[in-house]
Structure 1
């Protein structure tokens, strides 16, 4: 039986070009980038080249604004905890949203235990917050606004540029979690006016265990790991050169028009699944914005009357891997905090929805086959 992977918002398969780039480093370049001999200098050159590639991809003003980390969670934690440590003498108020990734929400909960006050902005039924909501929530003691660029469960793209413009002349640090957005949307950190931006390699066909944090020059950064002076004293620990080179290769693969092409291809896959459901007259509803308005790789569907766990099992038995929500919480019995924020704690959508997320290795034929499998599962269970 063929197996098809449609859970790319959880993680993506590593591309052949990334495997090749990493294998070459693993085989030939084992030096420590902090060493001054030829082996170390070679590793440091690879580090510099990778940093330039990534800085250019987001239009950073300086290559030094890119800090390599272990991934999105560390990048989120660093941005938030650093701001609390660096600017806590100015105020103890933070603004975020109710639908952030657990890496943000749990860090906020930690800060609340330390005496910080966090405002969790509600979202509408499509998952949006507005710049007006942020403006209304701002206080004289607000030091940080942290709002994700694209939601990992329903694909909502938040108005980061408008919020950045609102905060441009205010003494407030602005962080955005771009883990889901970076691989599919064009990003210009200067146009967005963000101070921190988080990215993870394994969401864009790169390796796990590596990511980066964009930190705007002039914004204070207090490292929360102690150790050596790597990453210009901002992130201790010997750099993962093979992983960083793999991340940079994944970024090169998305260069320029490649990202726009990927965006169009992913949207076509999404529409192919919906076309199969529509032709079979399956009763479904989209959670979040319409396909053209959301992240092109994320599709969250409610099938009234079809329990999520039953649908997941039956699709898996047919060779299709999808999910019921964020992979970071899927192993628990807790309901999706994102769908709860949209519909309320007792809504049927919470226990009857599926997240389908597409990647570069999916084909149109696979998407059509997934749509047909969904039709079969719904029909078998609901009897029509």
Structure 2
């Protein structure tokens, strides 16, 4: 019966089985990554080549499985924000489990072991470094895949075979600056230990990292502070793994959710307008009102032109060849129209706010636009 001791015992057993399954999945992935790390040379680790290889391996088959349809089936009826939140929680849990497994294998000499990599032969990788790199590649892969999942859930098109899209994914997945990540992790550590961590983090133990590319250097720096202090390695490793994974997930959510909102706005404007060609001219005029084009404005206009072409067969060659838009050209187009142009004014107001609050130039332009549309 509900609430009985038998039910409580059954629930505990289910939770234990679930945790055991999670741990087993993490251990299996660690073994796969151990084989990957064993195939690396010391030179590849020092040069940052490991990161390039891992990116290819981490996404090669994964992207074919982690599709929008997959998440729709798994989380039927759940809005995108809810699905993303769940994915971040699952990734954080895996990160914590992995941190517990890895930290139990470490000793206080890990910093010296990593430092010794600088003198290793190009083909030799010390055993301690293998363990360190398994942890590093696990968390790196986890956060890269999490960022990919979040993009997919928000229906942001990414082609991992396209260098530009791949670099975008990498930038989003690891967009937190190394110093910020390290400083943020200190709040989880007892006050008496913080100064020691700071010394380790900034000391000669990181000399070997200086030759790594910026991304590899950041990831190595972020990882090494977890193991430099005997006695706090296990809790610190678990908490830093969780913190960096949650932070990476939230950063990816912020970026891709923002893009999804822009794409959604473009869809709304094209769907509601009765003057798609004129709306494009007005939108471009508004975007150029202050002489600056923000990334969100650029994304919005790309989506507007794409949707206008697909839904209204509007492909304006003249607009495409404009270098400096002349307001007089837009005013002439408005004067040539008949009927209600309130949809164009509404679109202009929405476009103007896509990069934040209206500035003086945008306010003046919207006022002029409204006057010209209403006086006809």
Is the TM-score greater than 0.5? no
Structure with greater Cα Rg: 2
Q: Which structure carries more strand by proportion?
A: 1
TM class, shorter-chain normalised? under 0.3
Of the two structures, which has the highest relative contact order with CA contacts closer than 8 Å and spacing of 6 or more? 1
TM-score by length of 2: 0.24
